[in-house]
Amino acid sequence: MNTTVAPLNDVQTLIVIGNGMVGHHCVEQLIAAGALERYRIHVFGEEGQRAYDRVHLSEYFGGRDAESLAMSAASLYEQTGLALHLGVPVLEIDRARREVITAKGSFGYDKLVLATGSYPFVPPIEGAEGHSRLVYRTLDDLDTIRAAASQAKRGVVVGGGLLGLEAANALKSLGLEAHVVEFAPRLMPVQLDDHGGAALKARIEALGVGVHLSRATQSISAGEEYRYRMNFAGDEFLETDLIVFSAGIRPQDALARQCELALGPRGGIAIDEHCRTSDADIFAIGECAAWNGSVFGLVAPGYQMARNVAAQLCDLTAEPFFGADMSTKLKLLGVDVGSIGDAHGALTGARSYRFIDEATGSYRRLVVSADGKKVLGAVLVGDNSYYDTLLQYVQNGIKLPADPSSLILPHSDGAPTLGADALPATATICSCHNVSKASICSAIDGGCTDLAGLKACTKAATGCGGCAALLKSVFEHELIARGVTVDKSLCEHFAFTRQELYAFARVENIESFDEMLARHGKGHLGCDICKPTVGSILASCWNRPIMDPSLVPLQDTNDTFMANMQ
């Protein structure tokens, strides 16, 4: 029997629809702001698992389970005044009665937060249905892909964007011959220019992944040698045993449409700079929200919105949301890719410098303003060691050196560098949790003297993890500036230097990351600092290419899209 849970008279009821990364972060921020003293909070999640880390979703194929990917301990949702409803999708919102309707009853609300995320877009292709229509977004999706792969030899991903390449990597890790089919004339068309796309294609093909560009799939039919045949325009075709669609995302705005909230011009729930919808008591955050007509598919903007809403609901000062930086850095199949700011040089008067190294397959493009004084954007393929410096130039408007091209030329003793001391106090070190250099300095002055403690105190590098190296650099610089002896440990998982780990590998014949971690580290996962470092050590010790199949997983991170954030 359906029941209605009405708000209590002395405590308001707050409902959060969505228990993905952004919805979960909103709950964390609410708890930290004291929301449980003024609200009874209900959180509804469509999936059966509590919030998990979609940024590192592919590690599920590497042995991690739902619990190890969870964003928090189960005890977080066991607090008095907080109820988590897993596997309970909200079916309708009744704005007139101020209720949400589920299969288990109706729940009244005073305030409502929509964090429903997005869903994978599957093009309307004839035959794309049933078992030929796999997607890559949730743990359940990955279970389905794993099951299909057990009976397959070849797999194809439709979509050559960020998530599509990650899905191709997943297929390869499952032992399949992997192919990527992309409608555009280059891979990652949003982030990369033509030269960058070509460099990435060459690197990925060298790893044994087939890349098919400018291919429009017209239909899917039964194959002859393999299970399915993908029929392209122009009578071309490709046969495969399974097909994973990763052709972009769409905001999950069905509930907003049902209750007639205002929508963005291309979908998404329209919000203002306070993340309010057209109903003053309903907020929207993350990928389901559209600010100024744009939907943001990264974790950092979603977290920014979550902080904004949590502060407002607790009558605290909230920083308005006026869009977000969409710069991205990732490593897929061992290949570095970075895209910063105006990567395509679209702004009026923008000028570009390019560096191409055909020997290594590396490509770098620097986009500067017409007057040559500021960095507007950059494209990096093959080497992301330039990323942190270039991002700080863009974010902080730092004046360019006399020769801007020196910023992308191979490093030398005479090349200009941007040390931690050159970063202003306002420089953002961690965009996921909005941690500035000033916040790091404040934590150090408050007694924080180790990296693990700094992460716990500020949450820096605990979101996507992409800022881990920069955080370590700034942290150590500030400790030295204060006369504090710096711990030379590689990271919180290894209390040794790179040189010491190299010696362990040689003397003890260590040939895998897991073995190194078990013998000389702590924890069971590693991080974006130690995994690629140990991978490099093992490659050097045993004369194995860094792209050796056993080492590639140590290089792979996707700190942006990864199956979407919510």
DSSP 492-531: TTBSS-HHHHHHHHHHHT--SHHHHHHHHB-SSS--TTHH
- How many domains in the chain? 3
pLDDT bin (cut points 50, 70, 90) of residue 565 is very low
pLDDT greater at residue 507 or residue 10: 507
Cβ contacts of 346 within 8 Å, gap of 6 or more: none
Answer yes or no: do 202 and 281 share one domain.
no
pLDDT score of 553 = 62
Tell me 429's DSSP state. Answer: E
Task: Give the chain's length.
Answer: 566
Amino acid identity, position 356 = I
**Claim to verify: residue 135 and residue 109 sit in the same structural domain:** no
For residues 306 and 344, membership in a common domain is answered with no
Last residue of a domain, one of 247, 270, 298: 247
Residues 64 and 145 placed together within one structural domain of the fold: no
Q: Find the CATH number of the domain harbouring 52.
A: 3.50.50.60
Rounded Cα gap, residues 32 and 523, in angstroms: 27
What's the alpha-carbon Rg for the chain, to the nearest Å?
24
The one-letter code for the residue type at 95 is: R
DSSP letters along 448-472, please? Answer: --SHHHHHHHH-TTSSS-TTHHHHH
Q: Read off the pLDDT of each residue in 47-51 and give the average, rounded to a whole number.
A: 95
pTM of the predicted model as reported, rounded to 2 decimal places: 0.81
CATH number at residue 422: 3.30.390.30
**pLDDT over threshold 90, residue 2:** no
**Considering the domain boundaries, does residue 70 fall inside one?**
yes
Which of 189, 217, 247 represents a domain boundary (last residue)? 247
More confident residue, 402 or 334: 402
Residue 537 located in a structural domain: no
Domain that holds residue 257: 4-119+250-313
Contact 331, 352 (CB under 8 A): no
Residue 115 to residue 17: CA distance in whole angstroms:
6
DSSP code at position 78:
G
Distance from C-alpha of 156 to C-alpha of 171, rounded to nearest angstrom: 8
Where are the strands (E) in 95-216, listed by range?
99-102, 105-108, 111-114, 118-120, 134-135, 154-158, 177-181, 210-212
The pLDDT confidence band at residue 558, using thresholds 50, 70 and 90, is very low
- What 3-state DSSP class applies to 167? helix
pLDDT value of position 562: 35
> Based on the domain organization, do 140 and 167 belong to the same domain?
yes
Q: What confidence category does residue 222 fall into, taking pLDDT thresholds of 50, 70 and 90?
A: very high
Confidence of residue 55 (pLDDT cuts 50, 70, 90): confident
Residues 307 and 335 in one domain: no
Of the candidates 78, 119, 112, the residue with the CA atom closest to the CA atom of residue 98: 112
Domain presence at residue 524 = no
Q: What three-state secondary structure class fits 6?
A: coil
Minimum mean pLDDT range among 296-305, 314-323, 455-464: 455-464
